[in-house]
Amino acid sequence: EREEPNYYGAGPALLPTDVLQQAALDLINYQNLGLGVGEISHRSKQAVSIVDETKVNLTRLLAIPDTHEVFFMQGGGTSGFSSSAANLMAAYAKRTGKKGKAAYAVTGTWSKKAYEEALRLGFEAEAVVDVKKQNGKFGDIPPTSEWKPVNSDYAYLYYCDNETVNGIEFQQVPEAYAAGVEIVADMSSNFLSRKIDVSQYGLILAGAQKNVGLAGLSIYIIKKNLLEQAGDEELKQLGVPLSPIAFHYPTVVQNNSAYNTIPIFTLHIINLVLKKLLAQGGLAVQEATNGRKAAALYSVLDSYPQLFKLPVATGVRSKMNIVFTIEGEGNEDEFLKLSGARGLTGLKGHRSVGGMRASLYNAVTEKSVQSLVDFTKEFAESRK
Ligand code: PMP
């Protein structure tokens, strides 16, 4: 039992109370087994059916075509972007017999980390756009006509669809730019927030702990032909770094996401969230609701331009993570203090950028957003 929280944390984030209530019961006694869902073997019939059902529900929600495969692994967004390089390169090596290059669109904190990780692991990675280098700060996405062009020497283009720290969201897939090159998208913080066309992507990856579940699991949707990868010996000869076995996508898929122990309780929660989303009408409904939520908050922030500063260009504003700063000595502390006193929490910006951040993931209701909008308006009026 709890009162409905007004919580806008960036992740781990809010989950629906009824999902948590069901999960709490299942943690103790799952389907009358006399054992909790976290205690059963990951190879038991019940665990396998959780894996299978979650795949089916995700496939329905996202209308995933037959060309693509869903799988789950331990870890989060970081294990996702770390592991994507070796796997995409091994697929490229299989296809071309060559060592490929990787293109990274560096548009915020998380894509920058992914780019640096690919370099660190020894891949030939290149930033085809680096917004901070170019403009001194993250806050916009330059048109792809200004990015360094890619060609068939590149195995993939990596981008972060929603930059959680910076509040920047791509409004379209850079598909034309990346023609002939596989697209890898980190959707950790906007996964299932709206409809997408899965066929446009080589790989979608997402950590679970924002829109879909608890920390500990990451979700992958991959084009099946990218599971055809060069063998270890061939990769060694080409000088392509190997993937650790637990993150070797073909191995994980061959074992139905249970090559090693999958955190089945965490996956069960994801499945409960997916069922709820389906019952609520699917992603078209989420998209419309999330659009209204973000518009309501941006609108009040835009109404007081002397007080609230929004660092992100209007065209690339995130619907999930709304970042802003507050002018005037002490006003940010005051905003946090007064909102906190009203039970509105999780609004402090990421430590690296400061300011405020309101994360309006799927589980944050319109009612809760309205409470935040009302407070923000009152606060602004009181500073006039
Ligand atoms: N990518 C994005 C877009 C994120 O928001 C985060 C986490 N905030 C990560 C990657 C890293 O995720 P994790 O902490 O699960 O490794």
Domain edges within the chain: 17-279, 282-382
pLDDT for 173: 97
The neighbouring-strand residues paired with 127 are: 104
**Ligand 1: centre distance to CA 285 (Å):** 25
- 77 pocket-lining for ligand 1 (C-beta < 6 Å): yes
CA distance 184 to 163: 14
Classified by CATH at the fold level, domain 17-279 comes out as Aspartate Aminotransferase; domain 2 (3.40.640)
ipTM comes to 0.99
Among 83, 107, 164, the mutation site with the greatest number of ligand 1 atoms within 8 A of its Cβ is 164
- 206 pocket-lining for ligand 1 (C-beta < 6 Å): no
Identify the residue whose tokens are 């904190």: 109
- 213 pocket-lining for ligand 1 (C-beta < 6 Å): no
Architecture of domain 282-382: Alpha-Beta Complex (3.90)
CA distance 322 to 344: 15
- 160 pocket-lining for ligand 1 (C-beta < 6 Å): yes
Q: Is 261 helix (H, G, I), strand (E, B) or coil?
A: coil
User: Which atom of ligand 1 is the closest one to the Cα of 218?
Assistant: 15
> Rounded to the nearest 5°, which phi and psi values hold at 220?
-130, 140
Among 110, 162, 192, 353, the mutation site with the greatest number of ligand 1 atoms within 8 A of its Cβ is 110
CA dist list (Å): 269 to 30, 99, 276: 13, 39, 11
- By alpha-carbon position, which residue is closest to atom 1 of ligand 1? 77
pLDDT for 384: 87
Evaluate whether 17-279 and 282-382 have a shared fold. Answer: no
- 76 pocket-lining for ligand 1 (C-beta < 6 Å): yes
CA dist list (Å): 292 to 148, 161, 281, 285, 287: 35, 20, 16, 11, 9
**Ligand 1: centre distance to CA 167 (Å):** 13
> What residues in the chain have per-residue pLDDT under 70?
none
Active site residues: 110, 186, 210
- By alpha-carbon position, which residue is closest to atom 15 of ligand 1? 76
Q: Is 279 helix (H, G, I), strand (E, B) or coil?
A: helix
- By alpha-carbon position, which residue is closest to atom 10 of ligand 1? 77
User: Which atom of ligand 1 is the closest one to the Cα of 187?
Assistant: 3
User: Which atom of ligand 1 is the closest one to the Cα of 215?
Assistant: 15
